[in-house]
Structure 1
Amino acid sequence: MHIRPVPSSRHALRLDLSSSIGAWFRMLLMGVAVLLSGCGGGSGGFSFVGAGPGVTPPDTPTVQPPSGFSYAMTSATYELGQPIVPNRPSASGGTVERYTIEPALPAGLVIDGTTGVISGTPTVLAASTVYTVTAGNAGGTATARVVVEVRQSPAAPAGLSYRELAPVYTVGQGIAANAPSSSGGPITGYGIAPALPAGLSLDALTGVISGTPTATAAAADYVVTGTNTAGSATVTLRLTVQPALAAPASVSYDTPAALYVTTEPIVPNTAQVTGGPASSFTIAPALPAGLSINAATGAVTGTPGAIQSQATYTVTASNAAGSAQTQLKISVTARGNWTAAAPIPVARHYSAAVKLANGKVLLVGGIGGTGYTGAADLYDPATDTWTTLPQMLAARADSSATLLADGRVLVAGGDSSNSASQASAELYDPVANTWTATGSMSVARTRHSASLLPNGKVLAIGGYQTATQYSQTAELYDPATGTWSLMATPLSTPRAQHGAQLLAGGSAVLLIGGIGGPSGAAHQLTSAELFPVNDSGSTTLVAGTVPAGNIYISALLADGSVLASTDGSTTALRFDPSGLAFTASTIASSIKRVLPTMTVLADGRVLLAGGAGLATAEIYNPDVDTWTAAASMSNARSRATAILLNDGSVLVISGDSGSGDLTSVERFTP
């Protein structure tokens, strides 16, 4: 065997063992290595290298080395022939197992190798000398300097100080012992003035202050005097005893349910705590990306980076006595942005649009510069191009357009000229790129509603037949036969230009507002009703009234509720199917939008864009029932057509700028 020291601050030893050494001898060497591991300074430790087959380093737990090692008297002047006041060490970290000192102490003085206490009676004079004490354990070592001088005559104490000079204590909580340190002659007794606060005491021999305060005490100065036969030294402590710590009773926030906007710094949401003061705050789960909580104050700050629906976070405010919790709700929306898309070949308004099964958008009919048109165009989002398709069999505006289950598109009704409604319908086949006639409705309908039912049939409801005659009927289209059948159930009142949504489950269509009433007496309706898909014979009126308006638009939300608005009001409505009731919310712009577009986004929010003379847009956040401003379009437009694309963007097509129809098309990215 040979032992080869490896250079290291740890003075670790590496043992190279020949594989020929017997197993008993290898075990003996491992024992030696363990003993040697504590010999050096620093953090200690050892390693085995090349120990040979079958030898595994012992699995020993990590030992924390000593730290924060010092003596009560860092510089002591002793009197020849007089017993000294024991100089006691203190250390943190791992437990000290042994103490050594270099060089040797003056004759008569000794260090206890187990406790580190320096004691005895000096028998020779000694000049002031620095002694290095090493405290060690299996994990490593720490050192402290002690200056010792032995004189013929006694020396007065000097340099009296305490570990904590201005501590703040708490009623009912035991304090960490506050020990003194000094230089000069050793102190043989301690005194303090005035008396310490109730529950605290000063050890007259060691000077240590300890105890558990029992009453509050305002900040005050206390003078500690350390004496010996040669003189004294003083130090002033400033002590405070604060009331017993109480746990936080409650925690709340300025904004308990917050809606933030991506890329926009939030207004700091600050916490208020009752009861005892909180020393720390935590939150679970983690806040949205870009937001953080101040662990000391609980304030939530930052700039959110991504959209998210409302989520609930639990905030815990704590101190040593306990904690309190509250829930914080946070949702994040965005303004979005608009980009120009390829212009449409024929500028027009009151068109109908359908997204085909392949993701392309079919736009049909409308009113343009040459009047009512049968134009059909196809938009490809992938290439941002329009393709002109064969024209419809009839020019029509304000018709319905419904994507059937087999991929064809049913276009029904609409005006062929001013207030001249038609009953005809036709089918577009995307595969053959052709239009073919199909069965006509029983009556002419314009601005009616058309809903694709779960069974693949299409339910057309209401609409106007002439400028003063409105329909009170509904009929059902069967794609298998290409025919319409009149429903037996009448509406409660004739209506057109109403909002309509097939409710979740497909059992009823909600009809909201619009224009209607008896022939010649049409007016803006303030009623809503549920039309039974099973044609049970009567509709169900929804209790209460809705704001009057010329045209209602609506959208089905992810939770099954329905959002609706009209050009006659600044208030949007939300219908709850479970309670058969409406609630209202004020749109962000607080202005009446005349003929805007309404589109449900892929993330469940709703985009309301444009209106007569308006390029602005806003977003409805259904999880918090709140409207927020969105980025504005490049052009003011009303009577436009909007469709949600497969990539989550919204295509807003053409429309009326107020001074004419637009060829421009814009694309909204949420």
Structure 2
Amino acid sequence: MQPKRNAALLLSVLMLSSGCLGLFGPDNQTPEEIDCVEQPSHPDCFVHVITEDDCTAQQVFTGDACRLMRRPEGLDYGEDAIILVVGIEMQALTPSFTGDGPHDWLVNPRLPDGLSLDDSGVISGTPTGETQDTRYTFIGANPMGSTSATIDITVLAAPPTSVLYIADVLQCSLDNHCSIDAPLVIGGTADSWSAVPPLPEGLSLLGDGSISGNAGVLGDSNHTVTASNTGGSVETAIRIITLHEPPSGLSYEGHPFYWIIGEPVQIIPAISGGEITGWSIEPTLPDGIELHQADGSLRGSPTSVHQLREHVIAAENTGGSLSTTILIAVRDLAVTELHYEPYQFDLREDDAIEEVTPTWEGGSPDYWEIDPALPFGFSFNFTTGAISGSATLLQPWTYHRIWANNSGGTTSTLIQIRVTSLPPDAISWTGTEFAFKANESILIPATNDGPDIDTWEVIPPLPSGLTLLPNGTIEGTPDERADWTQYTIWANNTGGAVGLNLWIAVHDLTADQDDLRRGMGNTNWGGWP
């Protein structure tokens, strides 16, 4: 623009010096008329035109002229304060003012990240970070002066719009660590977290929304968790259930159990896992034994026999249950000191035994045994162990073992039985003195009006030719002379023996005569001496 201005000045000087303006020439001089068509380059043919480039820095081009620039005044953005949200584009603010427009725009302090002030003073952009409420001064300036305005700008975080935990229910075990990961937050980042009502004792709501801790109290509760930031808040619900840790191990050391009536019992189980709050057993325990609810122990003293049986014991708490099976039997006290009084039965034929019952110590027998069986006529009570009956058959001593049995054990004792006849009695012969003739057959019958005789004996032996028969009769033919001799005849049976005396002599006449006439001739004997 400067060369053009110089050319114009030069043209003016030339016109003045040449008299084109008529300032220095005669008044009556007729100006030369220039045909600009024919002489377009003649100086007089140039028309001076003012452009924007002809204006100075303090001037404003009006379209055909330059005028003195006016200072801007009354800057206004239409807002004294605005609140923006991170990530949300703001509505652009365009300035208004009086006077001529500013050439330069300034702001102090620096605008929040994401916002800008352009060359025309427009404020726009999308904030990318939170800022506290801050007053910003905007200045519009041109060479003639400046104007300013202030706007309070606050950039809030984008509010969270949704909070999602991985599960709606948090299951916890009493006195154990319990946690749930931080939830998914949709929208802005949460700066703070709160729960209403407060979380159960021992659990904490952490800065990222996660829940962690050791649950210290049983319960089932619903909580509203609120995620907040400067832009707003959002709520979600979570249910927290705190139960006992379920039982994980249960055993009763030493089973199967064989207990004795009256003996004390104390069996304490081994338990692992959570605290047990309840115990049960099926079927019921033997009489006298209890399942203690405090620790699941079996305590007491059994009072009756209990056959070996399975029992299922269950331990439970709010977290679950666990069961185990044990075998229990209660045995009676063993039978001891078994006796029969009397234990020897020396009986005569037809003797009767009134009922003889045994005595014993310890428990009661459940059943009885005997071997060998009692003799005919006697009976054995297999319920009570009693002996009774009558002696009907003879027999020597026999030994019988009797057992008394119960669940606690067995014991035995011996009894002895003998059945004998009545001793021999009422035996007789036709006489007590007998003189027989040699070589003649004789018979002395025996009469037995008493018990049967098992055997007969005679001492000393009868004269030659005579025999004692099995029924006590003497018979035969004596074949030699025998002096008067006393013979004891024994009658024997199981009841005893009896000896009866008989006198017997045997005469032989021929032998007698020979002895008498020894050295003599024939002699006539007329009869018995």
Q: What TM-score results when the alignment is normalised by the length of structure 1?
A: 0.22
Q: What TM-score results when the alignment is normalised by the length of structure 2?
A: 0.27
**Structure index of larger Rg:** 2
